[in-house]
Each structure stands twice: as C-alpha cells, then as structure tokens.
Structure 1
Amino acid sequence: MTFSLAHLSDIHLGPLPAVSARELMSKRLTGYINWHRGRAGALAESTLERVTRAAAESGADHIAVTGDLTNLALEAELRASALWLEELGVPDRVSIVPGNHDAYVRGALDRAFHAWAPWMTGDDGRAPASNDDFPFVRVRGPVAIIGASSAVATPAFVAAGRFEGEQARNLRKALEQAGNAGLFRIVLIHHPPVRGATIPRKRLYGISLFQNVIAQAGAELVLHGHTHLAQRHQIAGPGGGRVPVIGVPAAGQSPGARRPPGAYNLFSIDGDPKRWTCTLQEWSATTGTGPLELTDKRDLHPGD
C-alpha cells in the first residue's frame, strides 16, 4: 500500500503583529527591520494560502512541517501558528519540528514547544520540552516519522542551528528501533545536515555528528527547510548506501522573487525493507493565481 507525505517549510506567517518597544530590545530589532525591508515583500499570504491548501487537499496521508512558522517568535505569532496548524490538519495527521525563527530569542523555544505540543507528541504520549527530548517518533502505516530539532537561540545576524549530545544518542536509538521494525524512516530537521548547503552563519553545527548517526543507524529520507531552496542532496547510509536529503522552498515565497516560488513536496512511498521505492513531486506556485504546477518529479532510490 502506497503511503504519501506532503512536506512544507518556512511558513513565516504574516503580517507581523504589533511589536512593543520592550520586545524590540533584543535580536528582534534586526529581524523587525529585515521583515519590513525585504521579507514582507517577498512572502505573500496569498501564496502561502494556495500552497498550504494544495498540500492539505493533496490526499497525502501525513503532512510534515520543518519549522519557521514564525518570524520573531512573538507570543501573538505563536498563537496564530497554532491556529494555522489546526486548519492544516488534526495533530495525528500533521507533524512539526521548530526552526531558528521559532527560537529567535532566549525562552521563545520553550513557548513554541508548549504551543505546538499536539503536533510533536510521539506515539509514547510525550511531547518534547527541550531539544534533549527529541526526537519524537510517530509510526503511520509503513513509515516512521522521526522529528529532530536544530533550533537554538542565536545572536543577531546569526541563523545557525545545533545538533548534539543527548539528541544524537536518542536519534540513533530511534532509527535502530524503527529499522528493526521494518519501517521507512523519515527524519525531519530544520537546518540542512549537509556541508555547503548554506552560508556559515546559517549552517548547522553538528553536521558530522548527524551524518555519523545516519551512517551507522540508517534512514531512508531526511527532510529539511531553512534555505528557502529546492535542494537535493545525499549523505552516507550503512553499507555504502545513500540517503536522500531533500529541502523545499519557503511555502509563501512570491513567484518572480529572488528565490524559488512557494512550493510543497509530495512523497509517495511503497515497497518493503528489501526494496523501498520513493517518488518526489514538487508542486510550485509559479504564477500569481491558479493551480500549482508540477516543477520536479524524480525517483529517489533510498538505500542505493
């Protein structure tokens, strides 16, 4: 039986709510300026609505969102993002991991964990309260959806992520258990775990550690966001195999902007542990109105 998963990322819900002077006495000041200078014009609510509606109506069995629902991690943004998630789908059908914008200032990530707990609750009934509690694991049909977190608060002009320590040990254990159960393992993380995928100040610290975990324990697919690009990479898996690492453009990116237009990826998974098949379709808002366009279709050959 084919299982399908839709992947969205970098939602950046707008418009930006009112911000107090007190809230701007932090890194949020630079983010506020950047929003009004560029991001507000590049990201369109209409594009986000079209892309998310198409993903929700795609018939996918599950929807994955790899972070950056907010812009400055304001309380009003967190409340709005929870409402957006409710509209996207019931928590059992939607999984989310946080991004760097959701951890914009110290303490913001704790509030995001609380607001989004229903969409990050694993099959064990627990939702992460810190990065050390990741990953969560949700088994849906033949698939294990394994959510990791790279989100950390950083100084101004830095959008880096981090993967380390306890989470690495937890991820390896989760991957091994899911692999032993014969499941197709999909790892969700915000920052691309690939060298050179983005500039140094936006990179993931702990790439080697993440890749070592995958090389030892195995996975069939890694999904990320962060770069607002349609990225296609591979990293090493066990026994010389290769694991596809796929990024998706920001869901609300306006067509005609510097970066690719808003899109979602649809993955169709079939087969069994002896021979998994996975097909990627990228659906993009290439025009200002009308249905999305199929802009990429390829077989990913997990494990080859």
Structure 2
Amino acid sequence: MFLLAHMSDPHLGPMPSARIRELAGKRAIGYMNWHRRRKTFHRGEVLSRIVADIKSHRPDHIAVTGDILNIALPGEFAPSRVWLDTVGPAHDVTFVPGNHDAYVRKAAREWHSHWGDFMKGDTTGADHFPFVRRRGEVALIGLSSAITTAPFMATGKLGPQQLHALAELLDRLSSEGLFRVVLIHHPPVTKAAYRFKRLIDADKFRQVLRRHGAELVLHGHDHIHSLVMLDGPSGKIPAVGVPSASAIGGEGDRAGYNLYSIGRSGNHWRCEMTRRGLAPGTETIVDLGQRALMAA
C-alpha cells in the first residue's frame, strides 16, 4: 500500500519587509490585503501542526499544490525553501506552483533556484512542465497552471504545449501500469462565483483526461474540501481539492489535508481517501471522514 499525503496553499507568513519600488502595481494591493485581513487567518502555528500531523502518519510521499508565497516578494523565496525542507527531502515531496507564486512576471525566474529540487522529474529538469516522478507503482505528474494576472484576478492556464505533453504522458504511464496522479493548482471545475479564479483552459484539460485517463487529480486554490468526478475513457476520475493548510478562517474551509491509501487488488486499483483537519471550534486535528474513491 502506498500512502500519499496532499496539502496546498500554505501562504507562508509573516510577510517580509518590502521596499517601496517592490510594491508597484498588483503587489501593493496584495500587500495591503495581507496586513488588513489575510494574516489574521493564515497562521504559521496551524501550518506547523498540519505538517506534524502529516508526518505522524509516515506517508510515502507528500504533494504540495501551490501558493507557498503571498505576493512573490524577493524576501519570500528563501524562507519558502526552508519550509519545504522541513516538510521532507525533495525525493519525497513534490511541489507545483500556484498563482500567488507567479504574482509578478519576474517571480518565475526564482522557481528553479529555490524549488527546483521539489518540482523536477525523474528524467527532466526543474523548468520542464509537465514532469513525472515515479514512486513505486504511483506516477506523480506535475503541471503548472501558474500565470501572472491583472489585479483582482487569480486565473490560471496550462497552454497547448503542456496539454499535448500531458496527453502523451498519460498514455505512456498507463501502458506501464502505473497509478497516475495529476498535480495542479487550479481546479478542473470552477463554481460560477469563482470565475475570476478559474483555470482558463479547464475544458481542454478535462478533454485530455476524458480521452487519456488518470486515476486521481489533486488541486488546491479554492481553499475548500471538494470532490468532483470527471469523465474518463473507462470510468470516473476523482478530482479532489483541499483547504489552505494554514487557514483558521476566511472565505474557505479551516486548515486540512488528505491522505490517500493506494494499492492493487488483482487487476484493479483501490484508493481510499481520508480527510483530516481542524475540528469545528477547536485547533485540534481530527479525521473528518473517509471515502473509497476506487474499489476493486
């Protein structure tokens, strides 16, 4: 049995100091939003408790699906690498970026030097998306939906090159008999109220999944527990979202993460999901429910 943990949107604090010239444009809005509101519910001590709880279950691998930063200030990058190292060694932790990690255009220049070890494929470099990491019978496929957007927008996009490469990878990994887990920040299905946060080419992403299949899609971004069953070539594909791993309030659910027990039973896969997170009204982490996503 392979145990996979998934968390997202840590939004690491505190916000580092910033020079006036670093707060031009969209960053100025994000900086004010952090200090007026977001820092009150993205709490470092809660994130530490979530990470400790994940480690207590001794997962074989941990996936982190983006938004490790807030407004991509230069001073945010080094602490984010330190935090990733506390989660686990790069071999055992996979990271894909989110929209806050691409808050300004030049932010992507820093990805390789700070997070490259955590978003590097077995045979490709850190600047290559999609990438693949094979861990036992599980294949982790990392996508980047992170793009720089205008103020008050948080949309994402994969683009035709990633989508074409993803289709080929899904076919190849299927022929190898692997359990394919697609990691992406933005969800493949967005509620109407979240259109300003949507994945722009979500319909094309879903078409790739419908034609080429996958066993599991994991994402963050909406800061809520969610489960959508997508169409695949031979059955439904669970697409699962998690809340921010540091949040005690705000617009989404309280901090949580998921565990996935993955294994074979004969010629079929079994996958059971366990939700864990802050209990209502407390800061104690408890089981929030289990569900079989795939049963032999």
Taking structure 2 as the reference length, the TM-score comes to 0.96
CA contact (8 A) 2:222 2:252 kept: no
- Pairing 1:29-48 to 2, within 5 Å after superposition: 29-48=28-47
What is the match of residue 267 of structure 1?
A: 260
| Within-5 A mapping of 1:241-280 | 241-254=235-248, 257-271=250-264, 274-280=267-273
Q: Displacement, 1:258?
A: 4.7
Deviation at 1:227, TM superposition (A): 0.4
Which structure 1 segments of 5+ residues have no match? none
Structure 2 counterpart SS, 1:47: helix
Instruction: Provide the identity percentage.
Output: 42
User: In the TM superposition, what is the alpha-carbon distance from 1:56 to its structure 2 partner?
Assistant: 2.4
* Equivalent position SS for 1:208: helix
Distance (Å, rounded) in 1 between the aligned partners of 2:218 and 2:289 = 16
User: What are the equivalent positions in structure 2 for 1:162-201 lying under 5 Å apart?
Assistant: 162-196=157-191, 199-201=194-196
- Residues in 2 aligned to 1:82 and 1:74: alpha-carbon distance in whole angstroms: 14
User: How is 1:110-259 mapped onto 2 (pairs within 5 angstroms)?
Assistant: 110-128=109-127, 133-196=128-191, 199-239=194-234, 241-254=235-248, 257-259=250-252
Which sections of structure 2, spanning at least 5 residues, go unmatched? none
User: Which letter maps to 1:161?
Assistant: G
Alpha-carbon distance between aligned partners in 1 of 2:267 and 2:180, rounded to the nearest angstrom: 14
- CA shift at 1:289, angstroms? 4.3
Q: C-alpha offsets along residues 232-282 of structure 1, whole Å, 9 cap, x if unaligned?
A: 11111003x11000000100011x555321111000001168311111111
Matched AA of 1:159: A
Alpha carbons 2:124, 2:131 under 8 Å: kept: no
Match of 1:55 in 2: 54
Query: 2: distance between equivalents of 1:158 and 1:257?
Result: 18
Aligned to 1:24: 23
1:281 lines up with 2:280 in the alignment: no
Alpha-carbon offset, residue 195 of structure 1: 3.8
| Contact 2:276 2:289 survives alignment (8 Å) | yes
Counterpart of 2:244 in 1: which secondary structure? coil
Q: What is the distance in 1 between the residues matched to 2:260 and 2:201? A: 27
Count residues in correspondence. Answer: 295
Hey, what's the Cα distance between the residues in 1 that align with 2:198 and 2:133? 27
Would the aligned equivalents of 1:163 and 1:206 in 2 still touch at CA under 8 Å? yes
Cα RMSD for the two superposed structures? 1.6
**1:288 Cα offset (Å):** 4.6
Q: Distance in 2 between matches of 1:3 and 1:82?
A: 26
Question: Deviation string for 1:19-59 (max 9, x for gaps)?
Answer: 11001112101101111121111111111110011112321
Amino acid in structure 2 at the alignment position of 1:80: P
TM-score by length of 1: 0.93
Whole-Å Cα distance in 2 between the matches of residues 44 and 198 of structure 1? 26
Aligned counterpart, 1:294:
287
CA contact (8 A) 1:164 1:209 kept: no
